[in-house]
A and B are shown apart, each in its own frame.
Chain A
Amino acid sequence: MTNAWTDIKNTDLVVVMGGNAAEAHPCGFKWVTEAKAHRGARLIVVDPRYTRTASVSDYYAPIRPGTDIAFLMGVIRWCMDNDKVQWEYVRNFTNASLLVREDFGWSDGLFTGYDEEKRDFDKSSWDYQIGDDGFALTDPTLQDPRCVWQLLRQHVDVYTPEFVENVTGTPRDKFLTICEMIGECSAPDKVMTSMYALGWTQHSKGAQNIRGMAMLQLILGNIGMRGGGMNALRGHSNIQGLTDIGLMSNLIPGYLNIPTEKEVDWQTYLSTREFRPIRPGQTSYWQNYSKFMVSFMKAMWGDAATAENNWAYEYLPKLDVPAYDILRMFELMDQGRVNLYFCQGFNPMLSIPNREKITRSLSKLKMLVVMDPLSTETSHFWQNHGVHNDVDPSAIQTEVLELPTTCFAEDEGALVNSGRWLQWHWPGATPPGEAKHDTWIMAQIFLRVRELYQREGGAFPDPILNLTWNYADPEEPLPEELAKEMNGRALGDVTDPTSGAVVAQAGQQLSGFGQLRDDGSTMAGCWIYAGSWTEDGNMMARRDNSDPGDAGLFLNWAFAWPANRRILYNRASADLQGKPWDPDRLLIAWNGEKWEGYDVPDIAPTAKPTEVGPFIMNQEGVSRLFTRGMMRDGPFPTHMEPFETPMANVLNPRMRGNPVGRVFESDVANLATSDEFPFVATSYRLTEHFHYWTKHNPVNAALQPEFFVEISEELAAERGIARGSRVRVWGKRGEVWAKAVVTKRIKPMVCGGKPVHVVGIPLHWGFMGAAKKGWGPNSLTPFVGDANTDTPEFKAFLVNIEPAAEEPVA
């Protein structure tokens, strides 16, 4: 989230598209109802189904799964054509005026540089025209045909209301009503918020869905505003934290990168990360990359990381592919190239697409280690559960270790919420039986491995032997010690570069990432968390819920990264002179000397408003309507069909899915076509359950006991399916049996002149726990992923459906 849950009360219009906040985030959705009740805000829901969020909306429109880009580009086109643009914001705070290279273009659904063989783009043309001074050229009048604004207008030209209706199935009148409601928020004192979640991410072009809305929000001038922003609702309680701390193949904490093997040494690695400003006078804060990186290396390897050995750069693994993400790992597992796998509170048997492939892959491991509070499907993948898990244990040679862990009630530490708040919690119950904290388990594994290397030697033991492990009790590091390590501390005296004054003495906790240095005098595990545990104590445990100005910010409640800032880009809430666009939505303002207000300024406190742009992380100093080569599938979002679709891409019928989407060769033959599988399926959560956890809870199991699918009355009639009867749903990769919920809330749509039926498949059932045994949608979903994030395409795929007498016996 750029903003916070509590900030949603400040909005005038909520657009829930690509999410279902009322069901998946009920207590956050409270703030939508607050905005409605106390600000007169309106709520728009665009979704293939009339959801429980739609049930309290002011306006609802249906959309065919996987066509959000067409809808969003259509809205942008409408806003541009109807002068619903926050012009001052667009001119000054976006890259609308920057000129793009002459050789950049788009035709037939593809941007310049496509290589069909490699399934990749040569992105060199997707860039600005750079002048001799090293800065990008601009046309502040926005008239130059090569400026971003004109290129964008040209790009969205095809997305007429007719085009949108034809592709998305959203009736034209409903689409236009929504355009008008959204267009009102281009006024500087009208603000819209976007609330989205996996409904946008779980597509082969998920990142571009989100780009589409982010661009719209910039055109409306709603980024950085109270009540505005791009608000990723996020899933699990600490998925924000796990991502912040970089528990992904290619990440280092704080959104730094694991090097690739082309970055043969430290200097090469840093050379592409200098991030010099490409407009005069801009902040380009990533220029400080080396300070964050060296501090990380010092946190990892302490005295073994020195200037002489390039901070132990050699210790880091180097990637030969963009990422060994979860899809790639299961592909490798299936090829017999993975032997040992750990699942820490993660249930891939139900979460990763194509369950048949997952079972096959896990069966090829030598050892699977599952750490979990619950008995999961993953730890039981080898066990026969009849039709629900029809395997032969004797044929599976994987050794499985199931380790009982504590859960929230029994442990201590911080979780990061969608609004980037780090909130500390305390244990209040004794762990059951022999359940242990994950920290204890990880420490035990590490210490035992280290001991083996100490005793026996072996392959490159240095990064293991030299890993910093100076905890009071090495057997079980305390949450406090680990949190302090992430915050960072001074290893030597840290001085102010201009005054020379000591800002942090050796041994002291740092108060913020501004104190980080790249000379080895500081360490910090996760630079963006600097300030969370300072000399003043644990900032994450703060519980002052006062809210000056009723702004919805709560600066003294817990700690928000970065720098306790609650609304990102808040400098953009004020105009070029530093006055708030909307005086009723003051965040920060320029008082002639410095920025001040309710929030921590997202800019240097004394940076003059007319000189320094508000988007300080970007080299341009402004936001990007055009993303240069930063995304694999294009600098603007363009309509792409899902990999499995009932309709050819009208821009280019030869294109299947995302032309650079993640797909392995072995899975291509496993993709369905609509002649055999005519119906569009989409997966989703229900409010009564949380993923695959709460089916273990008898109370939630009682509230939604059994796997079902949802279909329209029309499809039910067409296939002879009665409400509450059993149906078989099958696709190219598997089949499931479920109860049928026949509803008016799903209606057939018309796309490309043909009716499109949607089958809704909720995802909370498996073969373990208290609820009735069932299946997850991953028995049906394709093993394809987003081009930029590798997120699997769970939201749009093809199935067939028929009545079934009973569940078969395996």
Chain B
Amino acid sequence: MKDIATAPTTAVSNPPVQPTEAYFDARDVVRISATRDVPRPERQLEPVAKLIDVSKCIGCKACQSACVEWNDTHPEIGENVGVYENPHDLTPDMFTLMRFSEWENPATNELEWLIRKDGCMHCEDPGCLKACPAPGAIVQYSNGIVDFIHENCIGCGYCVTGCPFDIPRISEVNHKSYKCTLCSDRVAVGQGPACAKACPTQAIVFGTKEDMKVHAAERIEDLKSRGYENAGLYDPQGVGGTHVIYVLHHADKPGVYADLEENPRISPIVEGWKGVTKTAGLAAIGLAALGATLHGLFSRGNEVDDHDTQAADVLVKGRDPDDTHGGQV
């Protein structure tokens, strides 16, 4: 007899070892990549959120470590290039990354070492999902989790381009796109994400989005009492709000936190793509899927010339490709 999990309200609990039935599943999907008219689920789950209080973060990388262990990834042992970030960027084997910024605050002339945990923001309006041409490769549940279904992923990298935060990374090994799942497998059985469970100072907390906003408000009040006048919540409305939110001591300057987007939004081109272009894209996928395996088709190596690259980037992101952080690995 399986227990049925309830929605988690905290990450501070011990995982069950008895067989446990997930509290959400495919019936709770509200959006599916490359799929129109997803039927409205019969129930609305309570939205969840992971709150990252940057002011409490000690940059210990427990979140990275716990993420690797829970998700069974194998990040490579790289080298030191003169900074504390390791690996040096998100990778298909590292879904979250501490980014370190040494910032001399012009208002106080004091050094601040700002440390931000980077990773998927689980946007309410997910650019990755909107850009994704592979049906069912990206789904969003009504609790806000945006998850990649790797069986359906074709490794095209559109999700990277569609993401206003430059998060997903494509595996060189299996040509699938990877990012933080918000530990959907843990959340499904009533647990918080592995990073939030591990976080020593509980700079990362997890629960309902409502609770997280209340908690954030308390933290912001404390920061203001310590002289951080511009402390505030980062829950960017340009993407409809996110299910990973930050408390920042300098909420007026997100950019000082390793270039956190001031005002993230999905490229208008990707937005517009929902209509005719996307349908066309889907058709291409469909044909390909019917005809040959996608891997076979695409891994042959479509050479792309500079002109094509330029044109494609302008189309998708509205900017020159040299400006992008990439996303190819």
Contacts and interface: CB of A to CB of B under 8 A. Distances in A.
A associates with B: yes
Tell me the dominant secondary structure on chain B's binding face. Answer: loop
Contacts of B202: 30, 33
Contacts of A534: none
Nearest to A58: B226
Contact of A743 (B61, B102, B222): B102
A754 interface: no
B329 interface: no
A678 B65 CA distance: 38
Contacts of B104: 744
A170 to B, nearest CB: 15
B77 A771 contact: yes
Interface string B91-118: 0001000000010100000111111000
A40 B225 contact: yes
B65 to A, nearest CB: 6
A767 to B, nearest CB: 15
Contact of A54 (B62, B68, B80, B113): B113
A416 to B, nearest CB: 21
By CB atoms of chain B within 10 A, which of A22, A700, A702, A704 has the most?
A702
Interface residues of B, number: 43
B152 interface: no
A697 to B, nearest CB: 9
Interface string B113-127: 111000000000000
Contacts of A33: 56, 201-203
Interface string B42-62: 000000000000011111111
Interface stretch (A7-15, A474-482, A608-616, A734-742): A734-742
B58 A708 contact: no
Interface string A410-446: 0000000000000000000000000000000000000
A258 B114 CA distance: 51
Given A37-B219, A687-B61, A26 B200 contact: yes
A714 interface: no
Interface in A706-756: 706-708, 722-725, 739-745
A741 B84 CA distance: 8
Given A33-B201, A700-B65, A705-B79, A22 B86 contact: no
B261 interface: no
B58 A687 contact: yes
A308 B201 CA distance: 58
A724 B77 contact: no
B77 A30 contact: no
Interface string A683-708: 00001100000000011111111111
Given A23-B60, A55-B113, A702 B77 contact: yes
A381 interface: no
B293 to A, nearest CB: 32
Nearest to B114: A55
B78 A705 contact: yes
A552 to B, nearest CB: 16
Given A29-B200, A704-B86, A745-B102, A772 B77 contact: yes
Contacts of B82: 708, 722-725, 739-742
Contacts of B81: 723-724, 739
A55 B86 contact: no
A54 B112 CA distance: 9
Contact of B80 (A37, A700, A706): A706
Nearest to B55: A56
B69 interface: yes
A27 interface: yes
B74 interface: yes
Contacts of A744: 102, 104, 111
B192 interface: no
A38 to B, nearest CB: 9
A656 interface: no
A26 B62 contact: yes
B83 interface: yes
Interface string A13-33: 000000000110011011001
A69 B20 CA distance: 58
A713 to B, nearest CB: 10
Contacts of A101: none
Contacts of B79: 705-706, 739, 772
Contacts of B37: none
Contacts of A742: 82
A26 B225 CA distance: 25
A562 B171 CA distance: 56
B89 to A, nearest CB: 13
Contacts of A60: 110
Contacts of B113: 50, 52, 54-55, 745
B308 interface: no
Given A40-B222, A725-B82, A688 B58 contact: no
B199 to A, nearest CB: 9
A708 B226 contact: no
A708 B74 contact: no
Given A30-B200, A703-B86, A698 B61 contact: no
B220 to A, nearest CB: 12
A745 B114 CA distance: 12
A688 B83 contact: no
A708 B80 contact: yes
Given A22-B60, A50-B111, 8 more contacts: A26-B201, A698-B74, A705-B77, A705-B78, A706-B79, A723-B82, A740-B82, A741-B82
6 shortest interchain CB distances as A-B pairs: A724-B82, A723-B82, A26-B200, A706-B80, A55-B113, A22-B58
Interface of A: 22-23, 26-27, 29-30, 33, 36-37, 40, 50, 52-56, 58, 60, 687-688, 698-708, 722-725, 739-745, 770-772
13 contacts: A22-B58, A22-B201, A26-B201, A30-B201, A37-B222, A688-B60, A698-B74, A699-B68, A706-B78, A723-B83, A724-B80, A725-B82, A772-B77
